[in-house]
C-alpha cells in the first residue's frame, strides 16, 4: 500500500494509487445477477479526469463544496475522486433522507455542485421548495436521453478534453462535510480534514490490511463513514477491488459472496443478526446425525481458534459454511449500533470473525476495533493506533463518559461554534457514550449520556429532529426524549423514544388526543417512530430564550416517575 505519511491530501494519495495499481481491477458493479461495470485503476482514471476537467472549466475551485447524492455505484467514487482532484470539499448525503431534507442540507453546506442520481433528482424537483435549491451546477447520473433535468446536466455528457490541473491541498484543509443522521432540526455538519482521513486509513489498514486481489463488498451506503473509508479510501490506496451491488435482495447478496470471492464486508448489526437467524435455521433443518457432526466440528474449530483466527483451519473443518460465503472471507466489520455478544461468538465459532468497533461521525470512522488477538465479543475492542480514550468521572463501577483525542477527530461543526465548544473541550471530543475499560484495555459500552438513540440499522436518531412532526399538537407543550436518557440503563439495544406531554389546565388525555399523536407518529419512517408517551404535570424548565432545558427536564422526570409510567403507543 501507499505510505500515507508522505501525503498531504486524499487527492494526491488517490492519484498515485491510480498510477501504481493501473492494471488491477478497482471496481465491479453488478445489478442482480448481471455484471454492469468492471474497471481497472487505469479505466477509472480515464473516466474521472475528463469529469475533473469539466468541473475545472465550470470554475469549480479549491475549497468549493460538492455534494454527492447516490446509491452505491462506480460513479459515486469517480465523482468523489474528480472533486478531490480539483481541490474541492466533498459533501456525502444520505440518499435515504427525504427530498426536503436533501434541500436543507444542500443549503446548510453551501454546496456549489450537486452530483445526483436521476430518480433522486426527480423527487427533489417535485418538492414545493425546489426553487430554493442553492447548488449552481447539478450533474444527474443515469438520466434518459431527452429527459427534462430542470437545469441540470447529464453526468455522462459532462466531460471535457485535455488534462485538468491537479490541485494540492494541505492536511489541515477541509476534505469532507459529513452530516449525522439527525437533520429535521439543527443540521450537524462534521467538518473533517484530509489529515483526519489519512490518519484513520493508516490505523485501519495497520490492523486489517488490503492488497491487490482483495475484494470488498460494498453494501452500506458509500456516504456512511464506515463504507467511505473501508469501501473507497482504504481499498484504493492498497490496490484492492470494491464490488458494488445495485440491489440488496438477500439472494443476490449471497450470490455476490460466492461469485466474487469476497474478502471483507461491512454490515450493520441488524443484517448480521438476520444472517445468524438464517444459518441457525439451516443447521436446525439438518438430519440429527449431520447436525451432531457439524456441532462437533464447530466445537473443534472454536478450540483451535481460541487465541486468534486460523482461516485455513476453519475452512478445512467447515467447508460448506465457508463456501456459502465465497471461501475467502476474512472478516466482517460492524459498528454503529449494539451487537449482541452471542451473535458475534456464533460467527467466530464458524471461523467468520465479526470485527466489532466503536466510533462516531465526529471522530472519522472508528475509535476502537476488535483486533481478534484474542477475540472479545463482550467489548468493542481496543483503541485504534493513535487514538487516546478517557473515561470521565467514573462511578464506583468504573463507568463514565468516553472522551477521545486523536488526529481523526473533526475540526468543528459547520457554522456552529456553540455546539463545537460543547463537544470538543480542551482538545477532547466528548462522545456522550458511557463505558469503561476492562483489565485488558478493551472498551465496554453501557449506554448513552446523550439524548439520542442508535437503531439496529446504525441510524442516529436525534429526538429534537422528530419534534417537527408533532408541531401543532393540541397540548400546552411537548418534548421528545430518549427513554434511556431519562432512566439510564446499563445496556444497549432495545432503545426507544418517548413523547413527554404537558396538558393544558383541565385537559384530559382522551381518545381524540391519542389518535392525533398516533397519526403524527405514523408520518415518521418506522425507525424514527416514538415508542410511548408520558404525562408530565409541571411546566417544562426553559432557558431565557425559551428553549427547553432537556437535561433538567429528564432529571426531574427520572426523580418523579418510574420507567413504567411510559405508556406504549
Instruction: Enter the C-alpha cell of residue 467.
Output: 419534534
Q: What is the mean pLDDT of residues 453-477?
A: 80
Q: What is the mean pLDDT of residues 80-99?
A: 96
One DSSP character per residue, 181-246 reads: S--SSS--EEEEEHHHHHHHHHHHHHHS---TT-EEEE-S-TTSHHHHIIIIIHHHHHT-EEEEES
Average pLDDT of the residues of the chain? 92
The most confident of the ranges 47-51, 159-163, 280-284, 391-395 is: 47-51
Q: Above 60 in pLDDT, residue 425?
A: yes
When pLDDT is cut at 50, 70 and 90, the band that residue 183 belongs to is: very low
- Could you say which DSSP state residue 324 is in? H
Q: Above 70 in pLDDT, residue 546?
A: no
* Predicted confidence (pLDDT) per residue in 479-503, tens digit: 999 888 898 876 666 678 999 999 9
> Which residue in this structure is represented by grid cell 446548510?
108
Q: Above 80 in pLDDT, residue 286?
A: yes
CATH of span 462-568: 3.30.300.30
CATH T-level fold of 4-265: Rossmann fold (3.40.50)
Contacts of 501 (CB under 8 A, 6+ apart): 473, 475, 478, 509, 517, 533, 534, 535, 536
CATH T-level fold of 267-448: Rossmann fold (3.40.50)
The percentage of residues in the chain with a pLDDT greater than 70, rounded to a whole number, is 96
Position 438 scores a pLDDT of 92
Report the 10 Å Cβ neighbour count for 96: 14
Contacts of 332 (CB under 8 A, 6+ apart): 264, 265, 266, 267, 272, 347, 352, 353, 354, 355
Contacts of 314 (CB under 8 A, 6+ apart): 301, 305, 322, 350, 351, 352
Integer angstrom CA distances of residue 333 from 96, 313, 398, 422 = 22, 21, 28, 31
Instruction: Please confirm whether the linkage preceding 374 is cis (ω < 30° from 0).
Output: yes
The model's pTM: 0.85
Q: Above 70 in pLDDT, residue 543?
A: no
When pLDDT is cut at 50, 70 and 90, the band that residue 171 belongs to is: very high
Dihedral of the CA atoms 477, 483, 487, 490 (nearest 10)?
Answer: -160
SS3 annotation, 51-97: HHHHHHHCCCCCCCEEEEECCCCHHHHHHHHHHHHCCCEEEECCCCC
Poorest-confidence range of 76-90, 319-333, 552-566? Answer: 552-566
When pLDDT is cut at 50, 70 and 90, the band that residue 309 belongs to is: very high
When pLDDT is cut at 50, 70 and 90, the band that residue 467 belongs to is: confident
When pLDDT is cut at 50, 70 and 90, the band that residue 465 belongs to is: confident
Dihedral of the CA atoms 414, 418, 423, 424 (nearest 10)?
Answer: 80
Poorest-confidence range of 403-412, 505-514, 542-551? Answer: 542-551
Position 181 scores a pLDDT of 56
Burial class of residue 566, CB neighbours in 10 A (0-12, 13-18, 19+): buried
Instruction: Enter the C-alpha cell of residue 186.
Output: 439543527
Position 184 scores a pLDDT of 46
Q: What is the mean pLDDT of residues 548-563?
A: 89
φ, ψ for residue 553 (rounded to 5)?
-60, -45
Q: What is the mean pLDDT of residues 106-125?
A: 97
End-to-end CA distance of the chain: give it in Å, rounded: 53
Q: How do the domains of the chain map onto residue ranges? A: 4-265, 267-448, 462-568
Position 447 scores a pLDDT of 72
Integer angstrom CA distances of residue 151 from 131, 133, 154, 252 = 11, 11, 10, 36
Q: Above 70 in pLDDT, residue 510?
A: yes
Q: What is the mean pLDDT of residues 370-397?
A: 93
Q: What is the mean pLDDT of residues 38-67?
A: 98
Q: Do the domains 462-568 and 267-448 match in fold?
A: no
Position 62 scores a pLDDT of 97
Position 491 scores a pLDDT of 62
Amino acid at each position: 500500500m501507499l505510505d500515507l505519511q508522505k501525503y498531504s491530501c486524499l487527492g494526491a494519495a488517490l492519484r498515485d494509487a491510480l498510477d501504481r495499481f493501473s492494471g488491477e481491477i478497482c471496481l465491479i458493479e453488478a445489478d442482480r445477477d448481471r455484471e454492469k461495470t468492471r474497471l481497472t485503476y487505469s479505466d477509472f482514471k480515464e473516466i474521472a479526469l475528463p469529469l475533473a476537467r469539466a468541473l475545472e472549466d465550470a470554475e469549480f475551485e479549491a475549497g468549493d463544496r460538492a455534494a454527492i447524492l447516490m446509491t452505491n455505484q462506480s460513479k459515486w467514487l469517480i465523482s468523489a475522486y474528480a472533486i478531490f482532484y480539483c481541490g474541492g470539499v466533498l459533501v456525502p448525503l444520505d440518499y435515504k433522507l427525504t427530498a426536503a431534507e436533501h434541500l436543507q442540507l444542500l443549503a446548510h453546506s453551501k454546496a456549489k455542485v450537486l452530483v445526483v442520481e436521476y430518480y433522486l433528482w426527480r423527487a427533489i424537483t417535485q418538492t414545493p421548495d425546489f426553487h430554493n435549491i442553492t447548488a449552481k451546477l447539478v450533474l444527474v447520473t443515469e438520466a434518459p436521453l431527452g429527459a427534462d433535468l430542470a437545469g441540470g446536466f447529464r453526468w455522462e455528457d459532462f466531460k471535457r478534453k485535455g488534462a485538468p490541473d491537479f490541485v494540492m491541498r494541505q492536511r489541515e484543509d477541509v476534505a469532507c462535510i459529513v452530516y449525522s443522521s439527525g437533520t429535521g432540526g439543527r443540521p450537524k455538519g462534521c467538518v473533517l480534514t484530509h489529515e483526519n482521513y489519512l490518519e484513520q486509513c493508516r490505523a485501519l489498514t495497520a490492523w486489517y490490511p488490503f492488497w491487490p486481489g482483495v475484494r470488498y463488498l460494498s453494501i452500506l451506503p458509500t456516504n456512511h463513514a464506515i463504507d467511505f473509508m473501508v469501501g473507497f479510501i482504504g481499498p484504493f490506496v492498497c490496490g484492492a477491488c470494491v464490488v458494488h451491488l445495485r440491489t440488496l435482495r438477500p439472494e443476490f447478496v449471497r450470490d455476490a459472496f460466492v461469485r466474487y470471492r469476497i474478502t471483507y464486508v461491512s454490515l450493520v448489526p441488524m443484517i448480521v443478526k438476520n444472517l445468524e437467524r438464517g444459518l441457525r435455521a439451516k443447521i436446525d433443518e439438518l438430519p440429527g446425525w449431520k447436525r451432531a457432526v457439524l456441532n462437533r466440528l464447530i466445537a473443534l474449530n472454536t478450540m483451535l481458534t481460541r487465541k486468534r483466527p486460523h482461516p485455513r483451519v476453519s475452512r478445512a473443518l467447515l467447508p460448506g459454511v465457508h463456501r456459502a460465503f465465497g471461501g475467502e472471507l476474512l472478516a466482517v466489520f460492524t459498528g454503529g449500533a449494539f451487537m449482541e455478544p452471542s451473535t458475534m461468538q456464533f460467527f467466530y465459532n464458524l471461523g467468520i470473525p465479526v470485527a466489532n468497533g466503536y466510533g462516531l461521525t465526529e471522530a472519522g470512522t472508528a475509535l476502537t476495533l476488535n483486533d481478534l488477538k484474542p477475540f472479545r465479543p463482550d467489548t468493542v475492542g481496543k483503541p485504534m493506533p493513535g487514538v487516546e480514550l478517557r473515561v470521565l468521572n467514573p462511578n464506583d463501577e468504573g463507568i463514565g463518559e468516553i472522551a477521545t483525542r486523536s488526529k481523526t477527530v473533526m475540526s468543528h461543526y459547520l457554522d456552529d461554534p456553540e455546539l463545537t465548544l460543547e463537544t470538543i473541550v480542551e482538545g477532547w471530543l466528548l462522545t456522550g457514550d458511557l463505558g469503561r475499560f476492562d483489565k485488558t484495555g478493551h472498551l465496554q459500552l453501557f449506554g448513552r449520556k446523550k439524548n439520542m438513540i442508535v437503531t439496529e440499522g446504525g441510524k442516529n436518531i436525534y429526538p429534537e429532529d422528530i419534534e417537527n412532526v408533532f408541531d401543532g399538537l393540541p397540548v400546552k407543550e411537548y418534548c421528545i426524549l430518549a427513554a434511556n436518557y431519562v432512566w439510564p440503563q446499563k445496556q444497549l439495544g432495545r432503545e426507544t423514544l418517548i413523547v413527554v406531554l404537558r396538558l393544558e389546565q383541565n385537559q384530559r388525555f382522551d381518545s381524540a388526543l391519542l389518535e392525533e399523536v398516533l397519526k403524527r407518529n405514523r408520518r415518521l419512517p418506522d425507525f424514527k417512530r416514538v415508542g410511548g408517551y408520558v404525562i408530565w404535570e409541571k411546566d417544562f424548565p426553559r432557558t431565557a430564550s425559551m428553549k427547553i432545558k432537556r437535561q433538567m427536564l429528564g432529571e426531574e422526570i427520572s426523580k418523579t416517575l418510574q420507567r413504567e409510567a411510559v405508556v406504549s403507543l
